[in-house]
Structure 1
Amino acid sequence: MKLFKLTLWTIASLTGVSLFVGGVGGALLLRHVERTYVEMQAYANAQGARRVSRLLEQQLAAGATPKELEHRLQTSLTHSPYDETGFLCLLDAKGTVLCHPDAKSVGMNMSHAPFYRLDNTRTSPVGEWFGKKKGGSGLLLDQDYGGKTQIVHSEPVRGTDWSVSVHSNAALVEERVNRLRRAIQRTAIPILIGFIAFGTLAARFVGRSYEHQIEAANMDLERRVSERTEELREAMARYRNLFESAPSAIFLRQQGGKLIDVNTKAEELTGFSRETLLTLSFDDLCEKVGDLPSSPMTVNSTVNGRHAWAGALTTNAASRHDVHVREVHVYESEIQEAQGDFCLEIVQDVTDQKLLEAELNQSRKMEAIGQLAGGVAHDFNNVLTAIMGFSKLTRSAYPEDETIQRNLLEVINAGERAGNLTRQLLAFSRKQILQPKIVSFNDILSNLEKMLSRVIGEQVEIEAHYEPDLWPVRVDPGQIEQVVLNLAVNARDAMPEGGTLRIATSNFRQCDTNEGLASTSHCEDRVLLTVSDTGTGIPNEIRDRIFEPFFTTKETGKGTGLGLATVHGIVKQHGGDIEVDSAPGRGTTFRITFPTTEGAEDVSLDVQAKPLPRGSETILLVEDEPGVRQLGETILKDLGYKVLTAENARAALQVLASFDGAVAMMLTDVVMSGMSVKELVQRLGETHPKLKVAYMTGYTDDTIVDKGVLQEGVTLIHKPFSASTLAETVREVLDRGVHANGLH
């Protein structure tokens, strides 16, 4: 009995020991399997964390800013799968989440979460671990995710206070271990004893199985991280390429105005380097001056939540030598990110466009006024021709009557002043008939000096500086004299207490450089005429208006406002340019340039007085204005000529067809109703080839004048004309003029 009991006790003891050993062995096996899986998972996490950490370090070394990297990483993580298997995030030294696949988790703090390192038995807050900027693996009890334990590996990013943290759910390890534990519990004691006997082998087998699974999971995680990293690199490259190649200046700023990125166009526009711009605020560079008016672009911007406004952009004066403050249009868009709100400013420089628009508007205004002035002057000249002509004829008819002589002289003087006014209108409108000659400005100015002294008075001293070997120009001497006289009178009025009028000539080479794919430069020889005074100067607010017709700052009755307008018109009609430099208190300087020409200068500019020539030939007078037609007929008959008259071109053809005698010359107005003068001359060239032709007009026309310059060999009489002018012109045409067929 004792032996049986002993045997049973021994068997029970052995069974108990076996069960105890089996239980302890099973528990140790489960713990070994669990730790092995944790270490494998931690190793996989470490590989992924190191890969991303090295990539961030490379981007920082390439010049990317921390803010820019946070934005790119968050964008990539937002489009990454986020499930229970694991995720990647970015934390700073305080344990604050900077980037996370779940945007709601950005900004959360994990510094107080308990952390158990795999290589240390001590539990410490995660903030202490991150603060030391050391990498490692461990178990994290994340209270913010329902108290779940996570397998974590953190890798520091050198040069920053960041750590890349890769997390895996530890519950998956526990689930596998629990399944194994339940299987052991369901196994019978013999199986348990057998399991204990082969525990080591089973442990190794299970370990290898889990090792293969961990290795497969690790490879999959590495593949996914590598794919996301490559996508992130390509996205960053595309973004930078689009950003830098944009045709407009782009500024990326924080809500407070601090600039965090700019493109190449922004550097070119401001004249500042990128490094300097990133130290500035956008508000320091650009000041808003108003909202842009409604347009398709601005309406579209408003609909899409953007804002468009006009601003004044201050540039680097040391780098830009044109306009220091540029007019710009700013198109502003707000960008909301998990890291914060940003503003994208697209800036377009419209300074040059505004200047061109202002010049175009001024040109159109001057052209419209010029057309009106030219038309009025033409009609006015017809009236003046009759008034002055008949006044002179009446004075000649009553030489003994002093009252008639005195009254008609006043009429003639008034007519001459009116004629001068119309000539100024024609000069301003660039419709004055030019009779150019190849001359030297020095000769014109030398002949004009005595007249200038009488015009400006003794209080103003004239200083003349003429370049000896001045290049010749092709100009109308009378018109150039008018330019200098008008400028001299203005200078005199600007120096009521006296001063100095300086007139200078010089040779000048003007070069225009065009920047493009190939830089080219075009140079032109020009003659520079400079007229300056020491007067009061021109205020800045009216400088842009001085060439407008009828604009004057003089008292009523002391100026017509046509002086500088006439100067501008004459200069432009000669193909020249005029610039003014003036400021209150330092006088005014006009610089006028004219193109040079080749050829010998005309012998003399002086017009010699000649006796009034007469004749007996027959002349056809064609004029649609009755007063002018009657005046011309009277003057020509008094000079001995036979005169036929016609009111238009068709009437002239009829008069010639019905006249049996020989007609030596036709004097015709340029512009008449009905048949054009050009057609009339062409038809007479066929039927009366020896008929000589002269023209008279109050303004120019394309049939006679090409771009305002008298064609070679054509004779034209300006209205209003005097009896002597008509007599001399008619005699000259009859002796050496051009026939209707174009031959001399």
Structure 2
Amino acid sequence: MERPPIHVLLVDDDEDDYILTRDLLSRPGLTARYQLTWISHYEEARAALASGRFDLCLLDYRLGVHTGLDLLQETRDLPHRPPMIVLTGQGDRAVDLAAMEAGAAEYLLKSELTAEGLDRVLRYALERRRAEERLRRERDLISRIMETSPVGIVVADREGVITFANQRAEQIVGPLLSRPDSPRRRLWLWPLQPLENGAAPAPVPWQTVLDGGQPLHDLRQLWDDGSRRVALSINAAPLRDASGRIDGLVVTLDDITGRLELEERLRQSQKMECVGQLAAGVAHDINNVLTVIQGHADLLREAVPEQSPQARSIRQICAAAERAARFVRQLLLFSRKQVVQVKRLDLNQVLHNLAQMLARLLGEDVHLELDCAPDLPTVEADLGMIEQVVMNLAVNARDAMPQGGRLRLATTTLEVSEPEATRRGAPRPGRYVCLEVTDTGCGMDPATLARIFEPFFSTKETGKGTGLGLATVYGIVKQHQGWIEVASKPGAGTTFRVYLPAAAGPASGPDDTAFETRPRSHQRETILVVEDEPDLRELVCELLSACHYHVESAAHGLEALTVWERLEGRVDLLLTDVVMPQGLNGCELARRLRQRKPDLRVIYTSGYTGTLAGRHLRLEDGWFLPKPYRPAVLARVVRACLDSPVGSPPPPDLDPILAGCAAEFPGTAQQPDAA
């Protein structure tokens, strides 16, 4: 395929020179095809050069009242001016130098022109222009890359003096080149310190890069110049000249402050999740034991006279078991394994309802202030759990003010954008309701602040707290799809901000359905108890037999199927643990038996709630009774389930018990525990 011609502009006021030049460029054997355009007037030549249509220009030195040097000077700043080759009739070194200084690509004598020589000069001028254009584009690309780079780029010489810093570098650490005498101009004087807490100060090994050529990779340092603190990831590599000698170094700076916060939040979340899984497993086993202890202690308390010496010991056993049960419930709240009874709540109303109780709890030395925002949106939340959050934070604040002070509870709303949700750790963007709890107490240092949500971490004296108060708050808030922010300084008090997703619609009203106790059936119902813990199974059977039920028992699901076959399906209620050995859990057992008897009533029990046996229980599956439970509670729930239609919800007065929120009895009101 024939290459397109090279367009050459000849600016010359002599027609004979035009004819000569045309003949030279038309000779055969040249390296390219040339298309020559002749212009004899100065003004036309200037316009032609500005058009950008020509690849090369041959320019006569003399142009009437003007010279070729004038045209060179006048068109020097044109963006698309072609390479200019000056032609003259006589050699003049001064003119030659002036032409080159004005931007001429070459200077030729007309008397020495040949076709081959002119072809060679034109080719070299064009190749040089193309090389310069490639270099210009590469430099422009490098410049744009440097200025739009997401990381800071700094270049320094062997003395550490900065010779270049891109825009991003100065955005991260501030101006580096504005003042020649600034310490920022020298790498050795940068205000850097190790990022790890407690690490011994050590200078950045810049000299190692310069002397040994060993690069630095992801050296994490804290920039702290008094006006800004930035966590940096620093990389450095030697800069070599054409001979390979190291004459400086190039440094990249990456602001990792936000990334470290996200990494820390992820580590904290993973740690809490691991501890939560452990807590749930431990709680399951402990609740089985507590159910047995509480059950037998209650039976003994009923059998022993109130004023007897044994009664005091039994009461102590009951109280200790109750404390242990509350401790386990906090573990479950922390591990987010507790069932949430969601209703639309007015957070302002919740605070007003708690105000009187909080005032007694805080004591006379702590002044309680409520600052509730008007027209606050509702939140979809469990009332008992939200009250637990408020109580735990209030107790925590009270303990931080042993000499008294002020506790302020405030509510506000916040609109969270998608970028802000990522930065703040919000589950999703949208509208949130904020509960702000501020005290004027002793505050916390950064080391304490970093650990406050860890389970069992406490700054209190031994015996003054379990270390689960704030861990419980954390678990509840996470379970409600919210998040917590904390601000505190030693001696300046602490502020907790709890954010919960806003809901649409007014607050839910109180339940208006009253539970009507049905008369006890005269027939003796049959209950099948399936429990793998022998002591607990024996206790439950004893309690239900005392309530005049016919009780059959099994240690696991497969044995329960055998008992069912022996009874020929004459079972009114299945009371089964959820997690059991032998490969058949309580949910699967109930499903199989329901296929044989659709109107079978089912009560599940377990040492923890939430996701059971790999799935969530549905209302039609049966009721759920969390462990530990007291004998009286077991009797009430069993009777109510037998008296209720299959698939119906528990009556309102049993809702808290079946949700695991109130296995309490008169005289054992639960107190919140602060970390």
TM-score normalised over the length of structure 2: 0.69
Match of 2:597 in 1: 688
Distance 1:229 1:400, change over 3 A: closer
Residue of structure 1 in register with 2:338 after alignment: 432
- The 1:718–1:579 alpha-carbon spacing in structure 2 relative to 1, beyond 3 Å, is same
Q: Which residue of 2 aligns with 1:361?
A: 267
Alignment partner of 1:255 is 2:135: no
Change (3 A) 1:332 1:610: farther
After superposition, the Cα gap between the structure-2 partners of 1:377 and 1:302, relative to the gap in structure 1 and judged at 3 Å, is: farther
> What is the rounded CA distance, in whole Å, between the counterparts of 1:390 and 1:368 in structure 2?
34
Q: Distance in 2 between matches of 1:397 and 1:420?
A: 26
Q: What is the CA-CA distance between 1:660 and the residue it aligns to?
A: 5.0
User: Which amino acid counterpart does residue 239 of structure 1 have in structure 2?
Assistant: R
Q: Return 5+ residue gaps in structure 1 as ranges.
A: 1-43, 63-117, 120-134, 138-151, 169-207, 293-300, 517-521
Q: Identify the residue that residue 281 of structure 1 maps to in structure 2.
A: 185
Letter in 1 for 2:591: Q
Deviations 1:569-612 (A, max 9, x none): 11111212111121112211111122233466444389999999
Contact 1:316 1:324 in 2 (8 A): yes
2:156 is aligned with what amino acid?
R
In the alignment, is the contact (CA less than 8 A) between 1:473 and 1:595 conserved in 2?
A: yes
Change (3 A) 1:471 1:229: closer
Question: For the structure 1 residues 438 and 641, does the alpha-carbon distance in structure 2 shift closer, same or farther, using more than 3 Å as the test?
Answer: farther
Offset at 1:692?
0.7
Matched, 1:463 2:373: no
Distance 1:556 1:490 in 2: 16
- Equivalent residues in 2 for 1:63-78, closer than 5 Å: none
Distance 2:513 2:320 in 1: 24
Which residue of structure 2 aligns with residue 530 of structure 1?
A: 436
In the alignment, structure 1 residue 659 sits paired with structure 2 residue 567:
yes
Give a deviation string over 1:368-418, Cα, whole Å, max 9, x none.
111111111111111111001100111101125521110010011111111
Conserved 8 A contact 2:527-2:574? yes
Whether 1:408 aligns to 2:314 is yes
CA contact (8 A) 1:250 1:262 kept: yes
One-letter code aligned to 2:443: G
Report matched runs for 1:97-112 at 5 Å: none
Instruction: Indicate which of 579, 588, 596 corresponds to 2:502.
Output: 596
2:230 counterpart residue number: 325
- 1:641-667 deviations in whole A, cap 9, x for unaligned? 222211111122221221157322111
Q: Quick check: which has more Rg, 1 or 2? A: 1
Moved more, 334-343 or 614-623: 334-343
Distance 2:216 2:485 in 1: 37
Looking at structure 2, the residues matched to 718 and 404 of structure 1 have their Cα atoms a distance apart, in angstroms, of: 30
Structure 1 letter corresponding to 2:596: T
1:507 Cα offset (Å): 4.0
C-alpha displacement of 1:711 = 5.7
What displacement does 1:289 show? 5.1
The one-letter code matched in structure 2 to 1:678 is: C
Calculate the aligned-residue CA RMSD, in Å: 4.7
- Is contact 1:285–1:314 with CA below 8 Å preserved after alignment? no
Partner of 1:638: 546
Which residue of the partner structure matches residue 232 of structure 1? 132
> Displacement, 1:348?
3.7
Structure 2 match to 1:679: 588
The answer on whether the counterparts of 2:554 and 2:563 sit within 8 Å (CA) in structure 1 is yes
Look up the match of 2:480. 574
2:27 matched to which residue of 1? none
3-state SS of paired residue (1:596): strand
Aligned mates of 1:402, 1:305 — CA distance in 2: 87
Q: Pick one of 632, 638, 643 that aligns with 1:724.
A: 632
Deviation track 1:204-246 (CA, whole Å, cap 9, x = no partner) reads xxxx9x9427997687567535533441332232133034236
Q: Deviation digits for residues 658-706 of structure 1, max 9, x if unmatched?
A: 1157322111111111202221121111111111111111113634786
TM-superposed deviation, 1:723: 2.0
Partner of 2:85: none
The reply to whether residue 418 of structure 1 matches residue 324 of structure 2 is yes
Q: Distance in 2 between matches of 1:232 and 1:660?
A: 98
Identify the range of structure 1 (551-560 vs 304-313) with the bigger mean alpha-carbon deviation: 304-313
- Point out the more displaced range, 398-407 or 507-516: 507-516
Letter in 2 for 1:460: V
Matched-pair contact (CA < 8 Å) for 2:155–2:251: yes
Aligned length: 546
CA distance in 1, matches of 2:94, 2:157: 35
Change (3 A) 1:311 1:365: closer
1:241 alignment counterpart: 141
1:542 aligns with 2:448: yes
The answer to whether the 8 Å contact 2:156/2:187 transfers is no
> Which amino acid in 1 is paired with 2:94?
G
Query: Pairwise mapping of residues 467-478 of structure 1 onto structure 2 (< 5 A)?
Result: 467=373, 469-478=375-384
1:711 & 1:538 partners in 2: Cα distance? 46
How far does residue 461 in structure 1 lie from its aligned partner after superposition?
A: 1.9
Return the alpha-carbon distance in structure 1 between the equivalents of residues 246 and 560 of structure 2: 89
Q: Which residue of 2 aligns with 1:188?
A: none
Change (3 A) 1:661 1:420: same
- Residues 613, 727 of structure 1: 8 Å contact kept: no
Distance in 2, matches of 1:608 and 1:504, equals 35
Write the letter of the residue equivalent to 1:673: P
Q: Write out per-residue CA displacement over residues 125-184 of structure 1, whole angstroms, 9 at most, x where no aligned residue.
A: xxxxxxxxxx938xxxxxxxxxxxxxx9588969xxxx999999xxxxxxxxxxxxxxxx
Q: Given that residues 614 and 727 in structure 1 are in contact (C-alpha distance below 8 angstroms), is that contact kept between their aligned partners in structure 2?
A: no
Partners in 2 of 1:665 and 1:316 — Cα distance?
72
Indicate whether 1:308 and 2:211 are aligned. no
CA 1:613/1:305 → structure 2, altered by over 3 Å: closer, same or farther? farther
What one-letter code is carried by the residue in structure 2 that aligns with 1:679? Answer: E
CA contact (8 A) 2:215 2:237 kept: yes
Cα separation, partners in 2 of 1:534 and 1:569, compared to 1, 3 Å: same
Of 457, 466, 490, 1:584 maps to 490
In the alignment, structure 2 segments of 5+ residues that lack a partner are 1-57, 62-67, 80-90, 197-208, 423-427, 651-675
In 1, Cα distance between equivalents of 2:472 and 2:286: 18
Query: Which residue identity lines up with residue 281 of structure 1 in the other structure?
Result: R
**1:735 has 2:643 as partner:** yes
Go from structure 1 to structure 2 and tell me whether the alpha carbon gap of 1:265 and 1:710 turns closer, same or farther (over 3 Å shift).
Answer: farther
- d(CA) in 1 for partners of 2:259 and 2:223? 18
Relative distance call for 1:352 and 1:603 in structure 2 (3 A) is closer
Output the CA distance in 2 between the equivalents of 1:401 and 1:337: 101
Aligned-pair CA distance for 1:475: 2.0
Query: Could you tell me which residue of structure 2 aligns to residue 555 of structure 1?
Result: 461
Give the secondary structure class of the aligned counterpart of 2:503: coil
Deviations 1:270-314 (A, max 9, x none): 56599789996262895565799xxxxxxxx99994511525586
Q: Tell me, yes or no, if the aligned pair for 1:307 and 1:333 is still in contact at 8 Å.
A: yes
CA distance in 2, matches of 1:685, 1:515: 46
Contact 1:261–1:278, Cα closer than 8 Å, also in 2: no
Q: State how far apart, in whole Å, the 1-side matches of 2:211 and 2:618 are.
A: 60
CA distance in 2, matches of 1:277, 1:686: 86
- Looking at structure 1, the residues matched to 386 and 349 of structure 2 have their Cα atoms a distance apart, in angstroms, of 11
Aligned 8 A contact 2:365 2:403 in 1: yes
Matched, 1:502 2:460: no
Amino acid at match of 1:646: A
Q: Which amino acid aligns with 1:283?
A: L
Q: Check the 8 A contact 1:464/1:502 in 2, yes or no.
A: yes
Structural mapping, 1:613-628, within 5 Å: 616-628=524-536
